[in-house]
Structure 1
Amino acid sequence: MARVLICVLPAQGHVGPTLPVAEALVRAGHAVQVLTGRRYIDAFAAVGADAARLPEEADFDEGHFPEREGLQGLRLARADLTGFVTRMGPQLMAIDGLLETRAIDVVLCDPLLMAGLPLTMWRRRPPVLVLGFVPLAVPMPGLAPPRTLVDRARNLAMTATTHALMRPVQAAAVREVRSLTGRAPEVMFMDWPLGSDGVLQLTCPGFEPPRELPVPVDFVGPLSASGAEQHSLPPWWPDLDGDNPIVLVTQGSVANDLDDLVRPTLNALADEEILVVVSTGGTDLPASEVPANARIAESLPYDELLPRCALMVTNGGYGGVNHALRHGVPLVCVGATEDKPAVVERVRWSGAGVGIMRPRVSTRAVGKAIRRVLREPRYQARAQALAEEISTCPGTGGVVDAVERAVERHRGAGGN
């Protein structure tokens, strides 16, 4: 039996794929301790894990970020990243307390939980594995290899923008790490997984640009579940049995301004022989704005819905995009905040859809992209090829195997 500590930020997009990992480890006979936010304690306890809450100053409500209000572009991205960095100290204090009292054999860590950076710098620590439910963007910005001069120019521009964005945040991270460890980090704060003992990436190789990394990467495939057990069927569900193709539109739960993507898509498709299904993520959409060919719900069982869909229009959440690919659904991906540009890059690079690197899309642009993906069979073919590749990934069993290998290596090397 191994004693596993899972550290995960209190956000649904992070907790969703982590819950099945915790459950699989418990079923395999391991003792699982989880460190997360207050709202998710019961969910992890329900699968047999011993869950502890992050300190108050490191916990947050993912639907309410007052510090983001009024910010856009680089200022918004910098505020988000600074928020991750400033929670590093309380996170590390909580992890240190659990390591001292629980004799942990291996840590599974959220890549955006910045305590992972000083943790990997400790000379005496258990193995640290990273749960890759964001794009594998190390070293930053982790762009796809350029294929054309336009690609090269875009990559240069994105790299310059990323470095400009990161400079003050990296300075803050260096100050935090020095105060916690007495040493400066040798990598960019977002690149801390390079100092881990391995990355368990929740996708397939065909969706991540190849690169040489100093850390092993196991592609385990997407893990989130979204069936009728998690989300009840809406009353209009029988409408899906019609003859028209179904287009799913989702804006996510954090960057959830419906003017960015949902309203332009509804307007673009209002007169088309298409059934448009919208997951609002909790934001109200007045009935007067819903065309006759659209159906609306706050949340939906994607595992029931996606096999019926011809296309998914998304703001680029990594988990949602991989959920679509698991079912062979091509994509129109629009996004420019958080990790969305990296996801847009992967959609383009993989050939599984059209990527639009903007925070907001026009009715004309999204309509053009949707018609292109529906009309050209190559997108469906690539999405289906990725679905077949994902079907060969080991899933939670691969995570359990990686944990057990890491523990065996550590014990064989004289670890506790």
Structure 2
Amino acid sequence: MNSIKGTGVALLCAGLACGALSGQARAQVTLFPNPHPASEFQTWLQGVTLTGQIDGGIDANPARPDNGINFGNFLGDHANQAQLNQLALTLARAIDPTRHEYQIGFTLEALYGSDARYYHLLGISDQAISTRYQLIPAQAHIDVHLPWLTKGGLDMQAGILQAPMGVETLDPTTRPFYTLAYTSQYSVPFEHIGAMFKWHVSDIVDVTFGIDTGNQTTFGASDNNDAPAGYFGFNLNSLLHGKLTIVELSRVGPEDPVRVLGPAANHQNRFWNDINATYAISDRLSVTGEFNYLHDDGLRADTTSFVSFLSYKISPVLTLNYRGEIYRDNTGLFVASFLTNRAYMQAIAGLPAPAETAPPTTYGELTLGVTYHPTLGHHVRVFEIRPEIRFDRSLNGTSPFNDGRNTGMFTFGGDAVLGF
């Protein structure tokens, strides 16, 4: 849905959990079909599409933690409880960056469900609903293609944007598992108000840059500090005869709340750095590696992680997926589980936020799963069932799991996705 997203995510999607998408994208609804010769504006309207998607799952924990929380897990945070994660509707008019001409499009996406608790923007949707199922504008941006400088030109998106950094995204069909890696929860941003640009320098090289108000903040009193932040990075596409893609993205700017650090928060920078590479070993087997390093001046904290993904297509409708991760939170200030429905956004704002935390810990995480994605018919864009088993463990002897009782945690469950 987001053309600024790194192409490494697209390759991961192609090799992992979303094998059904490429053959079923035709099922999206064109709102303004017109078989007769049309004006330029009518032709533009014919490209407007409406899609919907629903995702629900469960993350079971045999240890039954007393507080009911699977520590270190946002999307499947409530142990042994099924929930509606997402009900999303998207109205969009895509641009085609391969066409050397001026183009304008847009994306409007509304999302309701338990996932929305973690993807709000301060001052827009964070105070609207206090129950577990909440509502957000997941995307609301203008998309423009400018045929400038090079043959590929320049793409721009401006408005409410999903953050482009990292491998796993909010859309469940672009990632292999129901649950997220630690890196994807604690060391990449989620949502922005701002502008992102991708300059297609050549068929191989793209350059990405952008500016925004901060991670999940907006303007004025709804910004947790008074300074902007921004991105810069690059894509290397279609290396090794089209088998390898590398995406590097860095981000710098103050992210900590003035309510916590005082005026110093306006110039104490957070540095986010993420690089990932996806290699298609064969038509059936692909691997992805992601390295992430984050440093926060204000908190005097660092996180370092490496995540590996592997995908094997057992058959046209069944894909085997693996994820392994080592994640170091060197102060214990990043990995936390939030105990109330608004607590995560209260923490972003610098307000008191009930949370379960842990001491400095090196986390190991291993997840195995399969994705069953049959073709159901013309009007079903995607259908996936994704069972998974996951084991988390502290590698340095701390006991962060199951109400602080255990060094490890075993969970199993998964989700189902239906898109039209």
Common topology (TM > 0.5): no
Bigger proportion of residues as strand: 2
TM-score category, normalised to shorter length = under 0.3
TM (norm. structure 1) is 0.25
TM (norm. structure 2) is 0.25
